[in-house]
Copies of this chain bind each other. A is one copy, B any other.
Amino acid sequence: MTITAHEVPSLAPGAERVPSSAIRDLLSVARAEGVLSLAGGFPDARLLPVEDLSVALTHAGASTDSYQYGPTQGEPALREWIAAHELGGADPDRIVITQGAQQALSLVVGALVEVGTDVVVDAAAYVGMLQPLRRAGATLHAVPFDRAGLSTLALSGLLNAGLRPGMLHTVPTHHNPNGSVLSDSRRRQLGRLASEFRFVVVDDDPYRRLGATPPAPLRCHVPDDLAVTVGSFSKTVAPGLRVGWLHGPAWLVDAVVRLKQSEDLHSGSLNQRAVLDLVARDGWLDERCARLSSVYAARAAALVEALTAEMGDDVAVEQPRGGMFAWATFASDLGGSDRLARAALEEGVALVPSSAFDPWGRGGDGARLCFASSDEPTLRAASGRLARAVRRCRDADMAASSSAG
């Protein structure tokens, strides 16, 4: 750190490397009046269980322990519930309660990744994982995906060519952003590769309960000492309480707990106890997730139908089987996803361009469309606006090509 008079001290390299999330920057624009937003990953506020939460908070708040300092690893009773109900009978001591899934991802990166650590991610990867990886200085390697999730054939090729990653991250179930579900056979193949080449596999799994029943989680196939599962109550209960969790091998959990202690001591006691009060009610979470899944499925169908009706073969968008996001690509050259996002905003619809999910921020011509936050008429109106934006980009591009020719 070199300081001359009237300069301020320079930032640490990690702080220089971490960019602001393109999505959160977009959200401020998306909230402008008249803009229909397919950009955020917000649960629909009208579907939040406000009354049940109010009762749960009253229950939890009756104990002074809810307002006191708590254990860094998280409330034992909540860890026991997660071990039994989300992990089919795991060891609660291998679970850490975190500030949403985001802190779980950030802590795993903090524990494992240093400058130059090789990390494998999807070619369209979760932006919330790219941020801590960039901060840590990871060397990123992208694997292509299709509707059946990341290509284990491509991964196998990289590994056989000599890549020795410390970690692989994916969202195997209802992928954010690319909407895929990793097939059971690829899950098994990924487990075999992790076993052979000894890398940590992070199964980032907040959408498991939202949609069609998915194949078994990656920890069923990955060696036990290399398998990390990340979960969250943000999509199933409420994001504003910031309660997520991770499950991993003891050697990693020990490091994660020490890092969390140095970062924030522990997560909110009241919030953890209120979440437990809700999810421990017999059938509550199953019923709630069934209702959300049904509402979201109808919205996903409406969005895909409207996009196809508006654009026909110009758009490629798979019917999502769950989660909150559809992934759209376009037949014509639109001049890059950032240009499409700008044109869409001008037409009054917000989306997240594929560049936000590219490990190197490159363009592509795709977009992540959130179907979960808006009702069906809104999704249809947004599809019409998006179709106009796509036509504008295509026509401008064709005009540019013909004048260039």
CB-contacts of A218-245 with B (<8 A): 225-226, 234, 238-242
Number of A interface residues in the complex (CB < 8 A): 88
Cross-chain contact A111 with B15 (CB below 8 angstroms): yes
Q: Least Cβ distance of A374 to chain B in Å?
A: 15
Q: How far apart are the CA atoms of A341 and B54 in the complex, in Å?
A: 44
Report Cα–Cα, A259/B69, bound state, in Å. Answer: 24
Any B CB within 8 A of the CB of A276: no
CA distance A153 to B176 in the complex (A): 56
Q: A11–B255 contact, CB under 8 A?
A: yes
B270 touches A241 (CB 8 A): yes
Q: A199-212 interface mask toward B, CB cutoff 8 Å, 1 = contact, 0 = none?
A: 11000000000000
Cβ of B167 and Cβ of A239 under 8 Å apart? Answer: no
Tell me the residues in window 236-294 of chain A with beta carbons closer than 8 Å to chain B beta carbons: 238-242, 249, 251-252, 255, 257-259, 261-271
A364 at the interface (CB under 8 A from B): no
| A262 cross-chain contacts in B, Cβ below 8 A | 18, 21, 102, 106, 128, 131-132, 135
- Is residue A70 contacting chain B, with contact meaning CB distance below 8 A? yes
Residue in B3, B13, B110, B261 whose beta carbon sits within 8 Å of that of A164 in the complex? B3
CB distance from A263 to the nearest CB of B (A): 5
A249 proximity list for chain B (CB < 8 A): 8
User: Which residues from 106 to 131 on chain A have a C-beta closer than 8 Å to any C-beta of chain B?
Assistant: 106, 110-114, 117-118, 128, 131
Query: Which residue in chain B gives the minimum CB-CB distance to A11?
Result: B255
A367 to B234, CA, bound (A): 42
Distance, CA A135 to CA B255, complexed state (A): 12
**Shortest distance between the CB of A288 and any CB in chain B (Å):** 13
Q: Does A185 sit at the interface, judged by CB under 8 A?
A: no
Judging by beta carbons under 8 Å apart, are A263 and B132 in contact?
yes
Question: Which B residues are CB-close (under 8 A) to A360?
Answer: none
Is A45's CB within 8 Å of the partner chain B? yes
A60 to chain B, nearest CB (A): 9
A265: which B residues are within 8 A, CB to CB? Answer: 99-100, 102, 128, 242
Would you call A166 and B1 a contact (CB within 8 A)? yes
Q: Check if A103 is an interface residue, CB within 8 A of chain B.
A: yes
Interface digits, A41-53 against B, CB 8 Å rule (1 contact, 0 not)? 0110110101001
Least distance between A250 CB and chain B CB atoms (Å): 10
A162 within 8 A of B: no
Complex alpha-carbon distance, A100 and B64, angstroms: 18
Query: Could you say which of B15, B46, B259 contacts A18, with CB atoms under 8 Å apart?
Result: B259
- Of A3, A58, A69, A263, the most chain B CB neighbours within 10 A belong to A263
- Chain B residue numbers with a CB within 8 Å of A6 are 198
A404 within 8 A of B: no
Give CA–CA (A61, B48) in the complex, Å.
12
Whether A67 pairs with B241 at a CB distance below 8 angstroms is: yes
B67 close to A50 (CB less than 8 A) = yes
A31 to chain B, nearest CB (A): 11
A45 touches B64 (CB 8 A): yes
Given A67-B239, A258-B15, answer yes or no on A8-B132 (Cβ-Cβ < 8 Å): no
Among A4, A9, A48, A167, max chain B CB count under 10 A is at: A9
Kindly state whether residue A161 has any CB partner on chain B within 8 Å: no
In the complex, chain B residues whose CB is within 8 Å of the CB of A136: 12
CB pair B67–A1 under 8 Å, yes or no, is no
A377 part of interface (Cβ distance < 8 Å): no
Question: Given B12, B199, B271, which contacts A270 in the complex, CB threshold below 8 Å?
Answer: B271
12 A-B pairs with C-beta separation under 8 A: A3-B166, A8-B200, A45-B67, A48-B64, A65-B240, A68-B240, A70-B240, A99-B265, A102-B263, A102-B265, A128-B265, A271-B271
